[in-house]
Amino acid sequence: MPALLFDLDGTMLNSDPIHEAVFTELWMSRGLPTPEGFYIEQVHGRLNVDVFAEHLPNELDPQGLSEWKEAQFRDRLPSPYPETPGLTAFLDHAQAQGWQLAVVTNAMRLNAEAMLGAIGLRDRFEVIVIGEECSHGKPHPLPYLTAMKALGETSETCIAFEDSPSGMRAAAASGAYSIGVRSALTDDQLRAVGAKMTIQDFTDPTLPDILARIEGVAA
């Protein structure tokens, strides 16, 4: 029986504009260019410390800077906040079928808790895997493999939903059937980094057919 593994930012809610605004202010304060698309190309889906190591190599306290940046994000995150269309109904269907659920995110735990609370879905997930709490975050597959182990599942029974290049690479490398959510990237861009299929959101008319095929394999 399938288990569903969800990224958070950009997959369960579109909070990327808030992150982009904070990074734009941070980059400008450090004299770094912020051309159109810089957030998607340089930051999207990656751990902050990895981004800082590449773009701010002389930063004395990258972890402290990461914590400051994420505090800025939480301060700007409204609650309640809109979920990705169709998400709650999709979770209702999954839980009615007895499918297991997990969140797999590169967001720090305080952010993950804040986002799930803002969309009213914190109580749906017992398993929340945080990339920075693993020895490797995305794009390494370890966060997804950690979720599979916590659920007692194998990659053959797991479906991952992702929206970023980093996250999609992680999901695909874990062996999960990886579905891209087109919140920021196109179908071609998501398939290029490992997506088997893509959806616009959880109301996408292709989603039931995708799940029916996967259920047949998982059964």
- Contact present, 107 and 13 (Cβ < 8 Å): no
Residue 152 sits in the same domain as residue 176: yes
Which pair of structure tokens corresponds to residue 148? 């599979």
Residue 110 sits in the same domain as residue 144: yes
Residue 55 sits in the same domain as residue 96: no
Domain closes at, from 76, 104, 122: 76
| Rg over CA atoms, the chain | 17
The phi and psi torsions of 3 (rounded to 5 degrees) equal: -115, 140
What distance in Å separates the CA atoms of residue 160 and residue 88, rounded to the nearest whole number? 16
Q: What does the pLDDT read at residue 213? A: 78
pLDDT tens by residue, 64-118: 999 999 999 999 999 999 999 999 999 999 999 999 999 999 999 999 999 999 9
The enclosing domain of 131 has a CATH number of: 3.40.50.1000
pLDDT tens by residue, 107-154: 999 999 999 999 999 999 999 999 999 999 999 999 999 999 999 999
Domain closes at, from 25, 58, 76: 76
What distance in Å separates the CA atoms of residue 146 and residue 45, rounded to the nearest whole number? 18
Q: Is the pLDDT of residue 2 over 90?
A: no
Residue 9 sits in the same domain as residue 50: no
Residue 100 sits in the same domain as residue 132: yes
Q: Is the pLDDT of residue 177 over 60?
A: yes
Residue 202 sits in the same domain as residue 179: yes
Q: How confident is the model at residue 15 (pLDDT cuts 50, 70, 90)?
A: very high
Residue showing tokens 């609650």 = 79
pLDDT tens by residue, 40-65: 889 998 999 999 999 999 999 999 99
Greater model confidence, 114 or 209 = 114
Tally of structural domains, the chain: 2
Residue 87 sits in the same domain as residue 59: no
The sign of the dihedral angle between the CA atoms of 61, 109, 78, 4 is positive
Residue 58 sits in the same domain as residue 148: no
Find, among 103, 104, 112, 115, the residue nearest to 169 by Cα. 104
What distance in Å separates the CA atoms of residue 76 and residue 19, rounded to the nearest whole number? 9
Q: How far is CA 172 from the centre of its chain?
A: 13
The sign of the dihedral angle between the CA atoms of 203, 175, 195, 211 is negative
Residue 207 sits in the same domain as residue 148: yes
Q: What does the pLDDT read at residue 125? A: 98
Q: What does the pLDDT read at residue 219? A: 53
Burial (CB count <10 Å: 0-12, 13-18, 19+), residue 205: exposed
Range of the domain at 22: 16-76
Residue 33 sits in the same domain as residue 129: no
Residue 131 sits in the same domain as residue 188: yes
Residue 96 sits in the same domain as residue 43: no
What distance in Å separates the CA atoms of residue 167 and residue 7, rounded to the nearest whole number? 8
